[in-house]
Amino acid sequence: MHKEFISFVKETYNTDDFIPLHAPVFIGNEKKYLNDCIDSTFVSSVGKFVDQFEEEMKRFTGAKYAIATVNGTAALHIALLMTGVEQNDEVITQPLTFIATANALSYIGAHPVFVDVDRDTLGLSPEKLEDFLSKNTEIINGQCINKTSKRRIKAVVPMHTFGLPLRIKELVTVCDKYNLDVVEDAAESLGSYCNDRHTGTFGLLGTFSFNGNKTITTGGGGMIVTNDEKLAKKAKHITTTAKIPHRWDFEHDMIAYNYRLPNINAALGCAQMEKLPLFLEKKRNLAKKYQTFFENTSFTFITEPDKTTANYWLNAIILENLEERDNFLKETNDNGIMTRPIWKLMNSLVMFKNAQTSNLENSQWFEERVINIPSSVII
């Protein structure tokens, strides 16, 4: 089976050369916009392309406000600050995620609490969250308090794994019941929808990433989206060193961050946004080919959950066990096809080994079996 897969991928990508997991594609106005940016001399955090990129993200996602940042981790960090997360608060998230999710809340001095994911979405489970909250928390003076740690739980950060939308509407309903703000980690899900609503727009705030391996890229870059005007203005202010606008004076009114996306990166993003519909179409075509290939095998190709549209950012398969997974990884990588396992669970990392968790049986099951396979756009 491994040999058949290797041959299939090489045939699909029409090459015998090394095949990466997810490479960027530049087929539009990238060089033109970069040259325009260089000619303007506005290559840092001020320039027309930053504003244009934010407008394009608002249009595409349907959010009222968008604030560009230097990367997705910075976007998540600021979004959590906007909810009022403070040092020694707790933030609930999923253990099956990229390290940035847990890092961002740790920058504030908050403590992660890890709750399990669903088998059909790989995202934070509304039922398991409800179960954890009902057994481990109480509402005191309108705040959700962890009965074990005595700390305030302020926010919940679900992550749309590999661009597969989780059951976000149900999860927000649970969070509303316990007075918890939702910050969606939509870093991987640009172009993914629950029914007809874009991921990242269900919570109080949502965040995206435009790293070099994402569906579109700005080299590095991120975005905060929200429908709350007050939070949007504050997020823009705090990511721009809290400088009070003035033609020449340097007045800052709070400790803040230099997190604004440079104009030269935004120029790249504007060109990529023009090709986003095409990229999404091509990625869906590739996913269909993989689904057909794996239909009569012992491997399971992960498809979009019911009533959702996934962007199929990274295609993934489920193998029978850990030994099968490791054999597959070795053989494919030995033959020039980049595959990778899913992340190690956050609670297994030394920084978070003492974090409180729920029963993580689904996350552990996925950790032993899931592999990402080449997902670059084929033009």
Residue 158 lies in a domain: yes
Comparing CA positions, the residue from 53, 64, 30, 15 lying closest to residue 261 is: 53
* Residue pair 57/221 in contact by the 8 Å Cβ criterion: no
Q: Which residue has the tokens 């823009």?
A: 236
Residue 311 lies in a domain: no
Inter-axis angle of helices 263-294 and 30-40, nearest 10: 160
Residue 125 lies in a domain: yes
* Residue pair 238/84 in contact by the 8 Å Cβ criterion: no
Structural domains counted in the chain = 1
pLDDT tens, the chain, 379 aa long: 789 999 999 999 999 999 999 999 999 999 999 999 999 999 998 899 999 999 999 999 999 999 999 999 999 999 999 999 999 999 999 999 999 999 999 999 999 999 999 999 999 999 999 999 999 999 999 999 999 999 999 999 999 999 999 999 999 999 999 999 999 999 999 999 999 999 999 999 999 999 999 999 999 999 999 999 999 999 999 999 999 989 899 999 999 999 999 999 999 999 999 999 999 999 999 999 999 999 989 999 999 999 999 999 999 999 999 999 999 999 999 999 999 999 999 999 999 999 999 999 999 999 999 999 999 999 9
> How far is residue 132's CA from residue 293's CA, in Å, rounded to a whole number?
39
Comparing CA positions, the residue from 260, 268, 270 lying closest to residue 44 is: 260
CATH number at residue 205: 3.40.640.10
> How far is residue 228's CA from residue 284's CA, in Å, rounded to a whole number?
32
Sign of the C-alpha dihedral computed for residues 226, 230, 231 and 234 taken in this order: positive
Q: Give the number of other Cβ atoms within 10 Å of residue 264's Cβ.
A: 20
Sequence-ordered list of residues with C-beta below 8 angstroms from that of 62, at least 6 positions apart, any chain: 197, 198, 201
At residue 211, φ and ψ (nearest 5 deg) are -60, 165
pLDDT at 2: 86
Residue 160 lies in a domain: yes
> How far is residue 317's CA from residue 290's CA, in Å, rounded to a whole number?
9
Residue 74 lies in a domain: yes
Strand, coil or helix: what is 129? helix
- Give Cα 183 distance to the centre of its chain: 11
> How far is residue 72's CA from residue 313's CA, in Å, rounded to a whole number?
16
Range of the domain at 87: 30-273
Q: Which residue has the tokens 């990367």?
A: 71
Residue 222 lies in a domain: yes
pLDDT at 69: 98
For residue 254, give the DSSP letter: S
* DSSP-assigned letters across all residues of 260-318: BPPHHHHHHHHHHHHHHHHHHHHHHHHHHHHHHHHTTSSSEE--PPTTEE---SS-EEE
Residue 70 lies in a domain: yes
* DSSP-assigned letters across all residues of 224-246: EEES-HHHHHHHHHHTBTTBPP-
Residue 340 lies in a domain: no
pLDDT at 222: 98
At residue 46, φ and ψ (nearest 5 deg) are -120, 130
pLDDT at 46: 84
